[in-house]
Amino acid sequence: MPPASGRALLTPPGEPVVGATVQYVIDTLTTRIVSLEYGVDERLPSERQLAQDLGVARNTVREALDQLEERGMIRRRAGSGSFVTYAPSGAREAASPVAAETGPLQLQVVRGIFEPEMVRLAIINMPPRQIEALGETLSQMEAVASDAGAFVRLEEEFHRQIAMGTGNPLLIACYNLVIDARRQSFRGAMYRRHLTPNRIAAYQRGYNALFNAITARDIEAASEFMKLTLIEDQKLLMQDD
């Protein structure tokens, strides 16, 4: 199951220490808000929906929302839900300096180190509830026909859920930096040029195979998919050179 206790991974100085699973939810929602996946004044999904989406308990989501409200990123309205208050102008301040300084090839090197081992650990440790949540994200990915931005956001969420499935707080924190680096402008521009409907369909088939491998606890097949995905991204980078 997800780690339910421990010291916060990325808690800013002066703020209360939270558990690793709560921090994961905070980091995920912060990324979505900063990237404008949830815009200013937009209502967030319900606690139940977020808990199901992220594969965590509802009280974990509630605690994370409390923290986000204290940080001024959301406002909770009784009977109405949680609404984004974070201004887009603050996005640059929230971005990781390490991620911002990471180049495309440096990112690929780190992904090559992390992702095959990450999926291996996830297959060993991932509980059925998290696998079910991963399947729901896959369903959303498979519903995308041509929107490259939407597909990339869901792809990142799919990888984040795999990282969470390892149950390793340090690995989760490190991979959050990888995801932050993946969100940098060079990758977005690359996908706008190359992520055609046909390529999206090919990725969908691949992620379906990866999900089936995770469900079957097939470490070899899942690790091979991760390696092939890295090769595909490398090809796209080379096309951009």
Same domain, 211 and 227: yes
Same domain, 135 and 206: yes
Residue with tokens 């839900």, as numbered in its chain:
81
Per the structure, the count of domains in the chain is 2
* 11 inside domain: no
pLDDT in tens, 58-83: 999 999 999 999 888 899 887 788 98
* 2 inside domain: no
Q: Quote the percentage of the chain above a pLDDT of 70.
A: 83
Same domain, 153 and 195: yes
Same domain, 208 and 180: yes
* 189 inside domain: yes
Same domain, 159 and 202: yes
Q: Out of 59, 92, 125, pick the residue that ends a domain.
A: 92
d(CA 152, CA 121): 23
Same domain, 145 and 62: no
> Does residue 95 have a pLDDT over 70?
no
Highest mean pLDDT among 33-47, 168-182, 186-200: 168-182
Q: Which residues pair with 75 in a beta bridge?
A: 83
Q: Which residues pair with 81 in a beta bridge?
A: 77
Same domain, 135 and 182: yes
CATH of the domain at 194: 1.20.120.530
CATH of the domain at 25: 1.10.10.10
* 10 inside domain: no
Q: Out of 92, 124, 144, pick the residue that ends a domain.
A: 92
C-alpha closest to that of 102 among 185, 169, 209, 214? 185
Across 81-111, b (16+ Cβ under 10 Å) vs e yields ebebebeeeeeeeebbeebeebebeebeebb
CA angle 128, 130, 131 (to 5 degrees): 60
Same domain, 164 and 81: no
Structural tokens at position 175: 């991979």
* 145 inside domain: yes
Q: Region 96-120: what's the mean pLDDT?
A: 87
Full domain range(s) for residue 75: 20-92
Q: Quote the percentage of the chain above a pLDDT of 90.
A: 38
* 171 inside domain: yes
Q: Give the type of residue at 30.
A: T
Same domain, 38 and 123: no
Write down the H helix ranges in the chain. Answer: 20-34, 47-54, 58-70, 91-94, 97-100, 104-125, 128-142, 148-165, 169-182, 185-194, 197-215, 219-240
Q: Region 82-109: what's the mean pLDDT?
A: 72
Structural tokens at position 105: 């090839």
> Does residue 5 have a pLDDT over 60?
no
d(CA 83, CA 74): 5
Same domain, 106 and 88: no
d(CA 11, CA 140): 30
* 8 inside domain: no
> Does residue 4 have a pLDDT over 50?
no
Same domain, 85 and 104: no
C-alpha closest to that of 133 among 28, 11, 203? 28
Q: Out of 92, 113, 128, pick the residue that ends a domain.
A: 92
Same domain, 180 and 61: no
pLDDT at residue number 241: 52
d(CA 13, CA 235): 41
For residues 106 and 116, the answer to whether their CB atoms sit within 8 Å is no
Residue with tokens 């102008």, as numbered in its chain:
89
pTM over the 0.95 mark: no
Q: Region 105-121: what's the mean pLDDT?
A: 92
Q: For 25, phi and psi rounded to 5 degrees?
A: -65, -40
Structural tokens at position 75: 């406002």
* 205 inside domain: yes
